[in-house]
């Protein structure tokens, strides 16, 4: 089984690229499962509602722990049990390093210990779709703004920089792609990397 995670700030087109890759892999007769974080289990989806509902006031610490509570459920009930050829993850633990670590300025070693504690498998590939913060948000103007999206621009600048740092530190699995390119070009780049 191969795990491919998709990462990036809001508006980079993760979900579109994930769907295109799923279609591509299925056209090659691979068995593919897709999960999103936070969410994708019964409990995880409830936790997602708590995390994203703008009516909820959450401390940064609670936000971090809820992300990992959802992740623990996903790992135990879905990832560890999977018999598929590919698991495509719409975000995984790198998102906690980028958003809660670099963005909210919580302790990176603490987050790393939660990654170990919840027994997170290391993805075979992590695709970082990178785009300037303004461009990402400009693409999202029709959506409702959720609790995390209503964070400041400087927060998202830190998240973007954090992702770039994580990608640089993990070149064995990270593929950084300019998400300002056409949807088809980004898809082709993803396929080229995975096939090589």
DSSP for 57-89, written as a single string:
---HHHHHHHHHHHHHHHIIIIITT---SEEEE
Q: Nearest-CB residue to ligand TMP?
A: 99
Return the number of the residue (10 or 130) whose C-beta is nearest ligand TMP. Answer: 10
Return the number of the residue (87 or 148) whose C-beta is nearest ligand TMP. Answer: 148
Return the residue of 75, 79, 95, 114 that touches ligand TMP, per CB under 6 A: 95
Which of positions 106-165 make contact with ligand TMP (CB under 6 A)?
Answer: 148-149
Residue 193: CB minimum distance to ligand TMP, A: 21
- The Cβ-side half-sphere exposure at 100, using a 13 Å CA radius, reads 26
The pattern of x and - marking residues 25 through 54 that bind ligand TMP according to CB under 6 A reads -----------xxx----------------
Beta strand segments in the chain, E? 2-7, 32-36, 86-90, 125-130, 174-178
Q: Where do we find the tokens 């992702």?
A: 163
Q: Where do we find the tokens 């708590």?
A: 50
Residue 192: CB minimum distance to ligand TMP, A: 24
Tokens of 71: 């992740």
Summarize as ranges the residues that interact with ligand TMP (CB under 6 A). Answer: 10, 36-38, 67, 91, 95-96, 99-100, 148-149
């Amino acid at each position: 089984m191969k795990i491919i995670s998709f990462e990036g700030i809001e508006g980079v087109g993760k979900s579109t690229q994930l769907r295109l890759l799923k279609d591509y892999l299925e056209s090659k007769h691979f068995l593919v499962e897709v999960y999103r974080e936070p969410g994708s289990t019964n409990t995880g989806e409830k936790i997602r509602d708590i995390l994203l509902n703008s009516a909820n006031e959450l401390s940064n610490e609670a936000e971090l722990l809820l992300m990992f509570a959802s992740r623990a459920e996903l790992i135990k009930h879905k990832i560890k049990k999977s018999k598929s050829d590919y698991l495509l993850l719409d975000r995984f633990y790198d998102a906690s390093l980028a958003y809660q670590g670099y963005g909210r300025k919580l302790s990176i070693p603490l987050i790393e210990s939660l990654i170990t504690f919840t027994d997170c498998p290391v993805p075979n590939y992590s695709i970082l779709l990178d785009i300037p913060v303004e461009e990402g948000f400009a693409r999202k103007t029709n959506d409702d703004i959720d609790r995390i999206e209503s964070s400041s621009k400087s927060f998202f600048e830190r998240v973007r920089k954090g992702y770039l740092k994580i990608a640089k530190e993990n070149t064995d699995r990270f593929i950084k792609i300019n998400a300002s390119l056409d949807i088809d070009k980004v898809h082709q780049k993803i396929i080229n990397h995975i096939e090589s």
